[in-house]
Amino acid sequence: MYKIVVPTDFSKLSEHALDVALNIARKTNGAVFLLNVIGAMKNYSFSSMGGGVSDEYISEDDRFVLELHRSNEKRLKQLIAKHQHSGVPVYSFIEIDEVGEGVNQFADRLQCDMVVMGTSGENTLTEYFEGNHTEKVIRITHIPVLTIRKALPNFDIKNVVFATDLKTVAKEGVDQIEKFATFFGATVHMVHVSNDDTERVRKRMEAFAEEHETPHQVPELTINPLKGAKVEETIFNFAKEKNAEIIATVNHGRKGLMHLFVGGMSEQLVRDSQVPVLTIHMDPL
């Protein structure tokens, strides 16, 4: 069974992500795990497993989280009822943690295969220094993360643009992208953007594809060396040309100050792309 985690804050964006996850689950004979993460407070002590604090006194923080927990349980049940005829099993869970860690630990514990979540792509000053929830999930979650920007009714995948910098990555990263594409019988268009000689780049891409060959039988894999001064813009234009439903990439997991000053192609794609972005997180080798 393909297990898909959908973090929800009950917003329209998270509902769009849920709709996409349901379509993916139908294709993969999967199940959807709706996950609401309640941010833990510093003085919080109430047990999310149904217990309580050790003494008779319940702090204001405890009381607030307890009421929010109860309220969100009801909202999750309403969401499940809304999709009870989807033909996909949908289960609800609540975690009390920071969003990134909450999603990551939940996915590890239940051995999930993918996270599907909404993103606004907003880039505020706070998010520049701290990162938004979506980026935090992408950085630390070791399963594919598919980000959704808008409603995508009847979501299906025929063309996947796989953007790569051709750096050494773990084989599993490419494997995950091709595995996902095979569920839909989609064509994978590998792209690399540079200003180098096109034929030389093509040979590097062919060698990369051969080196990372996977057991999954992708219906078709095309090699596309692209020239462009702006990497993300060039990828977006190519995706539009191919009517791609997804842009896929492997995130190398930069952290700390390196991430702040250098950033990463994956996160820039997630922020700016109107097309869903599938990100595979891999720690740097």
Q: Name every residue whose Cβ is closer than 8 Å to that of residue 146 and which is 6 or more positions away in sequence.
A: 20, 24, 114, 115, 116, 117, 246, 276, 277, 278, 279
> Of 148, 177, 194, which residue sits at a domain end?
148
Instruction: Mark whether 216 and 191 lie in a shared domain.
Output: yes
Contact (CB, 8 A) for 177 and 147: no
Instruction: Mark whether 10 and 143 lie in a shared domain.
Output: yes
Backbone angles phi, psi at 230, to 5 degrees: -110, 110
Maximum Cα interatomic distance, the chain, rounded to a whole number of Å: 74
Instruction: Mark whether 115 and 205 lie in a shared domain.
Output: no
Whether 72 is covered by a domain: the verdict is yes
- Give CA–CA dist 249/42, Å, rounded: 36
Q: Name the E strands within 70-213.
A: 90-96, 114-118, 145-148, 159-163, 187-193
CA dihedral 111, 117, 121, 123 (to 10 degrees): -50
Instruction: Mark whether 119 and 193 lie in a shared domain.
Output: no
Instruction: Mark whether 184 and 142 lie in a shared domain.
Output: no
Q: What is the 8-class DSSP label of residue 189? A: E
Instruction: Mark whether 179 and 129 lie in a shared domain.
Output: no
Whether 153 is covered by a domain: the verdict is no
Instruction: Mark whether 163 and 94 lie in a shared domain.
Output: no
> Of 148, 174, 197, which residue sits at a domain end?
148
Backbone angles phi, psi at 10, to 5 degrees: 70, 15
- Give CA–CA dist 178/7, Å, rounded: 24
Residue 65 is predicted with a pLDDT of 82
Instruction: Mark whether 87 and 213 lie in a shared domain.
Output: no
Instruction: Mark whether 12 and 130 lie in a shared domain.
Output: yes
End-to-end Cα, the chain, rounded Å? 30
Name the residue range of residue 10's domain: 3-148
Instruction: Mark whether 20 and 144 lie in a shared domain.
Output: yes
Number of domains in the chain: 2
Q: Name every residue whose Cβ is closer than 8 Å to that of residue 89 and which is 6 or more positions away in sequence.
A: 31, 32
Instruction: Mark whether 142 and 167 lie in a shared domain.
Output: no
The domain that holds 19 is classified in CATH as: 3.40.50.620
- Give CA–CA dist 124/253, Å, rounded: 21
In tens digits, what is the pLDDT along the chain, a chain of 285 residues? 799 999 999 999 999 999 999 999 999 999 999 999 998 655 545 443 344 444 455 567 777 888 899 999 999 999 999 998 899 999 999 999 888 999 999 999 999 999 999 987 665 434 433 446 888 888 888 899 999 999 998 899 999 999 998 886 656 788 889 889 999 999 999 999 999 999 999 999 999 888 877 766 777 899 999 998 899 999 999 999 999 999 999 886 555 433 433 346 777 888 889 999 999 887 654
> Of 148, 180, 211, which residue sits at a domain end?
148
Q: What is the 8-class DSSP label of residue 41? A: P
- Give CA–CA dist 266/249, Å, rounded: 6
CA-based torsion, 278, 280, 284, 285: positive or negative: negative
Q: Could you tell me the pTM of the whole model?
A: 0.85
Instruction: Mark whether 250 and 277 lie in a shared domain.
Output: yes
Residue keyed to tokens 């720690």: 283
Q: Name the E strands within the chain.
A: 3-7, 31-38, 90-96, 114-118, 145-148, 159-163, 187-193, 220-226, 246-251, 277-281
